[in-house]
Every structure is written in structure tokens, then in C-alpha cells.
Structure 1
């Protein structure tokens, strides 16, 4: 007999489990029924058991016999928060007779085989669905966030047989140098206009978010670390030190990078047209 109760065991599975998984774990149908009667578990689709506090996205997936995936899973894992009106759910091609309201169904099977009664979508499959579903800059941002937060390793991604042009392309582009989603987006924007950006280059004892050529430094100001007068004074001092050493610093905030790509691109290209990315000899 398991040490945990049926409800405690389901809670340890992120609040959702198929009844067959409970049987394999050693719980009798009677024990499960008692937990349902007592309100410690909730039954949906006859064979899926949920705890009362189960995340609504997992509840939506269980109601159709699927798994949370794509942007919804990225949010659950804490990789990156993308606004979506529907819960993204992975379902087998054979799945039928379900209410699709409030969900966005993904039927393409990811690289990792998954048991049809599993409640968890593997991280690699989540990234696979993201690559196929989202615009490339958004998908790249989520992939790099997953790498930064330890959800998956870059070396693993490089060896996966993706069976998807979009996923294969992002697997080539993804890296682990970006400290934030906006940095990933900036590098993607520059790549799109043929500008090479070196990331996390240390100058004067401080890391630059990006370096173009020898002398054009890029800093992306996020809300969390650049929001107080003290932060602003620190940034001004850092920029002054770099200017005195012959560098030009371009600062963009999150809103500009994420929502005003044309301004960011034109600013960088204009700076390059003026030769600000090149090392100049002293007169």
C-alpha cells in the first residue's frame, strides 16, 4: 500500500493523473472513489482525476484527455509569459468527441513519444509545438528562455531529430547567451537585417547585452533592473566610462525592442552608417 493517499499522490503529479496511473501506483479503485466522494479528488472524462487546486490550464487539458503544450506550457514552466486567449493542448490524431471551446488543439506529434494517458508534455515537445505555432522571433525567445531556466540543454536541442523545418531552424539559432526575452528579440531583429551581434561581451568590467563591430555597444533596459533613480545613475556612469574609452552605447527599453522594431533597426543601421561600430585611430 502506498505511503501517500490517492489525493496526495495526484497532487505530486501536478494535480492531474489518469486512473490507470493511480492503479499502477498501487491505489485501489475503492480508495480513489472515496477520495472523489470526500472532495479530495475531482473526476473528469470518467478516468481523469484532478485535485481541487489543479491549475485551470491542466483542468482544461484533462477535460479533453490531452496535455498542456506550446505557449500555455511555457507559461506553466515559467519560461516565458505569452498572452493567449486559449489553452494550447496536445491531442492525438484519433481524439474525437470533445468540446473545443477555450482550447487550441495541437495534433502534430513531437519528437518525444508520449503515452496517450500521460498528463505531462515533455519539454522538447513543448518547444516543437511552439516553433510550429508562434512567429519565429517569439518562438526563439521562448526557446532561449527555456534554456536559461534549465528546462532543456542547448546541446540536447542540437541533436534532436525535429521533423519540422521551423523547429530545426530555431534549434540552429538558439543559444544560451541572452539574459532575457527582449535580448533574444533584439538579436533576432539584427539577424534579420544582416547585422552580427556578439552577446555578453565584457567591457570595463561590465557585460554588454550586445556588441556590434568593435565599438557599438547595445544595452537592453528591462523593467526589473532599470526602474529606480539609483539604477538610472548606475547606467549613466557606466555609459560615461565607456564613451571615454571610445565606445558608443545605444540603449533600448523593452517596449522599443518588442513593439517598435523599425525604430530599433533604423537606429542601429544609422549608427553603423556613421561608422560608430568601427575602431578609429587617434588623430
Structure 2
């Protein structure tokens, strides 16, 4: 396999020492750089055109992709309002190259990592998110981490977090949400004192939120892009739920995020009517 293909298969950017450790001759690496098959980044990193721009920025800063940037890179749910500029973690004594525009987390890692890794650890990402985002948005990301990284809530609470915000989030996140929007809805409704259950199987399909025994809330994601077949299935399931005596409410991302007072009024009306109570 040629060097450019090898680098591309490893994500588009690797440390030179990794290539040498994998048996790539130094002479061959120098020849690939001379031909332009690969390019050098900040002296010791080697990249191809497929390298993600944020990882290139991390390599140039001798840092690691951090916080919301690391979370997005891992595919965690992200609130739409989250800033898109790069977040990097660098040592407190690091010297940044001229022109660096990323948001910099000057910190030592919570968890030791191999020297040739451009993305910070999952616990470090969570702690930086806790510091950067409002609590609700941070909880969305933490819930997503639980789901994507298969983190057990009890294991989260045993991590030696450095901040009170991180400890609070570790005690709150449980990994049961199926989407970030579901997290927002549940965390806002939790203080009301009504029983809330998530992802409950009723009539052959999971419902997003069951309030009490009979009030079902379905949430149509950050951006609802169902196919006609999906929509038909949802309508049929809602119809079956109502036939079984459930009250079904369906809210969109816009409802929950930008028109929460209207959502509250609807829920209050149904609670006042006892639609959440068993017959």
C-alpha cells in the first residue's frame, strides 16, 4: 500500500512516528513528501487532502480537538445553536502558531492519552462541554455521550471530575434519551413532580415520553425529515395509541426550543384534565 493510501485509511492525518513504527521506510516517506503525495503539518504530522480541517488545525496548534468540536467529531447529538468554530485543548505552556482562530482550552488532560492522538478523551470532552455550554445544552451532549459511547451512569459518577458542573451533569445524565430534543423536554418537565418514563414500548413501538400512565409525548427531532412511509407509520401508531385510551401529543424541535411556553400550556391543560392518569 502506498503512503498516501495508508494515511487516508488512518483518517487523513497521522504522526510521522506512527508511519515509521508501522514499517514505512524514512526514505520512502521523504520521497512521498517531495512528490506531494502527502504534506507535512507542523513538522511531525503527515496528511492527505482527505484530512478533516479541524484535525489539521489541532495538529498545527500541537493540541487536540476538544469540547464541542470533539463531541461533533464523534457524532454525538449537538444543539443547533452550538458554535461551529474549532475548540482545541493545549497545554498551559503551549505556544500557538500565528493566526490561530480556534477557541483554546488551556488545560492539562483529565485522562492521560497516547502522545500521537489528535482528539481528547471522552471524559475530557465532557468536562470541557460542561464548562462551555449552558446546563441544558451540556446535558444534551452528555446524554448523547452515554448513548454513543455506552457509558453507564454509575461509571460517570465515579470519574474524578474537577468541577461542580461536571459532577452535577454526571449525576443527572442517564443515557435513556433517544435524541437531544428528548433530553431537553425531559429535563424541563422533571421538576414538575409527575412521573416521566422514556422509550416505553406501547402498541408495538417505543414512545418517546410517557407522562404518568396515559399521556404520551412524541418528539419530532432537531430536524424532522421522515419519509412518507415513516410518517404513515407514526400516524398509524398514534391512531392505535388513542384507540387504546392514551392521549398523544406531538411536538417539533421548534416547539420545544423556541416556543416552550406554548408547550407548557398544552401539557398543563392535559394534566389538569387528568389525561395522564390511569382509568
TM-score by length of 2: 0.86
Q: Give the aligned CA root-mean-square deviation in angstroms.
A: 2.5
Whether 1:197 and 2:193 are equivalent positions in the alignment is no
- Residue 18 of structure 1 contacts residue 119 of structure 1 at CA under 8 Å; is this kept in 2? no
* Distance in structure 1 (CA, Å) of the matches to 2:276 and 2:61: 54
* Distance in structure 2 (CA, Å) of the matches to 1:170 and 1:33: 48
Among candidates 66, 73, 77, match of residue 76 of structure 1:
73
Q: Alignment length, in residue pairs?
A: 275
Distance change in 2, residues 1:227/1:13 (3 Å): closer
Distance change in 2, residues 1:110/1:33 (3 Å): same
- Residue 67 of structure 1 contacts residue 90 of structure 1 at CA under 8 Å; is this kept in 2? yes
Whether 1:271 and 2:275 are equivalent positions in the alignment is no
Displacement over 6 Å in runs of 4+: none
Aligned to 2:56: 59
* Distance in structure 2 (CA, Å) of the matches to 1:24 and 1:114: 18
Aligned to 1:124: 123
Among candidates 32, 35, 48, match of residue 35 of structure 1:
32
Deviation at 1:180, TM superposition (A): 1.5
* Distance in structure 2 (CA, Å) of the matches to 1:26 and 1:224: 48
Among candidates 15, 20, 39, match of residue 18 of structure 1:
15
* Distance in structure 2 (CA, Å) of the matches to 1:35 and 1:16: 14
Deviation at 1:193, TM superposition (A): 4.5
Deviation at 1:46, TM superposition (A): 1.9
**1:219-273 superposed Cα distances (whole Å, 9 cap, x missing partner):** 1123556453x54444343333333333211110122123322222332233212
Q: 1:88-103 to 2 correspondence within 5 Å?
A: 88-99=87-98, 101-103=100-102
Q: 1:1-283 to 2 correspondence within 5 Å?
A: 5-81=2-78, 82=80, 83-99=82-98, 101-149=100-148, 151-155=149-153, 156-222=155-221, 223=223, 226-228=226-228, 230-280=229-279
* Distance in structure 1 (CA, Å) of the matches to 2:3 and 2:121: 24
Distance change in 2, residues 1:13/1:164 (3 Å): farther
* Distance in structure 1 (CA, Å) of the matches to 2:194 and 2:264: 10
- Residue 224 of structure 2 contacts residue 252 of structure 2 at CA under 8 Å; is this kept in 1? no
1:263 counterpart SS class: helix
Listed as ranges, the gaps of 5+ residues in structure 1 are: none
2:107 counterpart SS class: coil
Listed as ranges, the gaps of 5+ residues in structure 2 are: none
Deviation at 1:167, TM superposition (A): 2.0
1:89 counterpart SS class: strand
Distance change in 2, residues 1:270/1:107 (3 Å): farther
* Distance in structure 2 (CA, Å) of the matches to 1:227 and 1:185: 24
- Residue 217 of structure 2 contacts residue 249 of structure 2 at CA under 8 Å; is this kept in 1? yes
* Distance in structure 1 (CA, Å) of the matches to 2:175 and 2:108: 26
Distance change in 2, residues 1:47/1:138 (3 Å): same
Deviation at 1:5, TM superposition (A): 4.7
TM-score by length of 1: 0.85
* Distance in structure 2 (CA, Å) of the matches to 1:5 and 1:121: 29
1:162 counterpart SS class: coil
* Distance in structure 2 (CA, Å) of the matches to 1:9 and 1:211: 49
